[in-house]
Amino acid sequence: MAALSSGPAPFSLSRGAKISFALLAVYFLWAAAQLEFTAERFIVGLDNGARFLDRMFPPAIHDWDSLTRGLTESLQIAVLASILGILLALPIGLASARNLMPTWASWPARTIIALCRSFHPVIVAILFVKAVGFGALAGILALTVASVGFVGKLFAEAIEEISAKQVEAVRATGASFASIVIFGVLPQVFSRFVGFATYQLDSNLRNSTMVGIVGAGGIGGTLFSAFQRFDYDFVCAILIAIIAIIMIGELLANQVRAIFIDNLSFGELLRRRFSGFRGLTTERAAND
């Protein structure tokens, strides 16, 4: 007991840590005052938000053609940007891995990834709108840049965490660099790369609805126009459609992970889903 009591108290902080937390609290209060973050404004905002939500319900679709065209374009932007971004991120991420590549190759590749990650996709979309004009092309290019930054960084980090033994075993056979990558590196990072790719597709689905606000195509333009016309019930319908698209994309991403990571065939996947649904139906019938 004496040995236990002689140690530092649980959750005890050093003098420096206490001073740091005190300075952080002071800065928080100062920043809140500078930005006029007050309880009164928050309460007024709650009242305004309640009235806004009241005008949004019930949702109504005023223009089916505009809604379907915007959703289709957002989906196309997300898919094309994801494919292009992943294809570009593969060599850039490989070149960024410091355990495989020399410094003269890894640092330029890491610089490219850092530049791609420096700005939000909406800001990049504004730049591409100025460069190539309004439309889906600007959105595809903006989300491709975002995909390169995200997937390239995570792919490089995954490669740096691999076991060197498998790489050395392939290298000892006299294999070329391409063979080393294919047989020594990719098998160790493939499952993680599938996860990165599916997550990036999901992220691009969300971002494709945002870049349209600045004229880069997609449902965002339709949403912004509805806001400008004060058609809040149509805004609500668009938001519900966006949520539905995101949820469908999440379900598809889970199926892709099951096929590539769990090695399930499409038929086995359907049988599992059907058997689970049939078991749930039987259980409900027994309870009734």
91 within some domain = yes
288 within some domain = no
The predicted-structure confidence for 180-202, as pLDDT tens digits, reads as follows 778 888 778 887 888 888 888 88
Q: What angle do CA 184, 260, 264 make, to 5 degrees?
A: 125
The pLDDT of residue 17 is 79
The whole-model pTM stands at 0.76
Total structural domains within the chain: 2
Domain shared by 209 and 72, yes or no: yes
Domain shared by 148 and 262, yes or no: yes
Domain shared by 50 and 110, yes or no: no
Rounded to whole angstroms, how far apart are CA atoms 288 and 282? 10
The predicted-structure confidence for 49-68, as pLDDT tens digits, reads as follows 888 788 888 888 877 888 88
Q: What is the CATH number of the domain that holds 106?
A: 1.10.3720.10
Domain shared by 50 and 106, yes or no: no
Rounded to whole angstroms, how far apart are CA atoms 270 and 276? 10
Long-range CB pairs of 32-40 (<8 Å, 24+ gap) are: none
Domain shared by 46 and 84, yes or no: no
Cis-peptide, bond into residue 58, ω within 30° of zero? yes
Convert 213-281 into a string of H (helix), E (strand) and C (coil).
HHCCCCHHHHHHHHHHCCCHHHHHHHHHHHHHHHHHHHHHHHHHHHHHCCCCCHHHHHHHHHHHHHHHH
- Report the share of the chain in percent with pLDDT over 90: 10
Domain shared by 46 and 135, yes or no: no
Using the structure block, give the residue that is written with the tokens 């400008």. Answer: 228
Domain shared by 132 and 164, yes or no: yes
218 within some domain = yes
Rounded to whole angstroms, how far apart are CA atoms 257 and 239? 27
Quote helix, strand, coil % in the chain, to nearest 5. Answer: 80, 0, 20
Q: Residue 72 CB: number of other CB atoms within 10 A?
A: 12
The pLDDT of residue 148 is 92
286 within some domain = no
Average pLDDT, the chain: 80
User: What pLDDT band is residue 46 in, cutting at 50, 70 and 90?
Assistant: confident
Residue 36 has pLDDT above 80, yes or no: no
Most distant CA pair in the chain, distance: 77
